[in-house]
Amino acid sequence: MSNFQKDDREESIGSKLLSGLLWGAAIGVGAFVGYQIIKSITKEEVEKLPIKIAQFTDKSIECTICLNYFERNDRLKILPCNHKFHSDCILKWVERNSNCPLCRRENK
């Protein structure tokens, strides 16, 4: 194998690595930009979100508004950012605040 071919292969591996890093960075930036331009929601839109019923008690997940764990049969709302809260808690929250309590995404 000539040195030229060996260098080509090493460059190819390096190029692939750089390409992968750039792709990962692009995805990260895209996610950040996408996060910033997602349509914000109003209290009325939160009210229209479907209510999900907790299927089981999970002592590792709590409502970050009331700080109680989700119990079986609790009524939950899931915001577009995928954060879960007790339905009553998030409705009271959006009356006074214009963002998600966890990620601070605007909800106005």
The CATH number covering residue 88 comes to 3.30.40.10
Q: Is the full-model pTM beyond 0.75?
A: no
Q: What is the pLDDT of residues 62-79, one digit of tens each?
A: 999 999 999 999 999 999
Angle at 39 between CA 62 and CA 92, to 5 degrees: 40
In the chain, how many domains are there? 2
Q: Are residues 32 and 60 located together in one domain of the fold?
A: no
Nearest-CA neighbor of 89 among 18, 26, 97, 21?
97
Cα 91 to Cα 89: distance, rounded to the nearest angstrom: 6
Q: What is the pLDDT of residues 27-73, one digit of tens each?
A: 555 554 444 444 566 788 899 999 999 988 877 889 999 999 999 99
- What pLDDT does 43 receive? 86
Q: Are residues 14 and 52 located together in one domain of the fold?
A: no
- The answer to the question of residue 104 being in a domain is no
Q: Are residues 32 and 48 located together in one domain of the fold?
A: no
- pLDDT higher for 96 or 108? 96
Q: Are residues 78 and 51 located together in one domain of the fold?
A: yes
- The answer to the question of residue 108 being in a domain is no
- The answer to the question of residue 31 being in a domain is yes
- What pLDDT does 40 receive? 63
Q: Are residues 22 and 50 located together in one domain of the fold?
A: no
CB neighbours (10 Å) of residue 41?
A: 20
Pairing type for strands 75-78 and 84-86 reads: antiparallel
Q: Are residues 85 and 67 located together in one domain of the fold?
A: yes
- The β-bridge partners of 85 are 77
- What pLDDT does 97 receive? 84
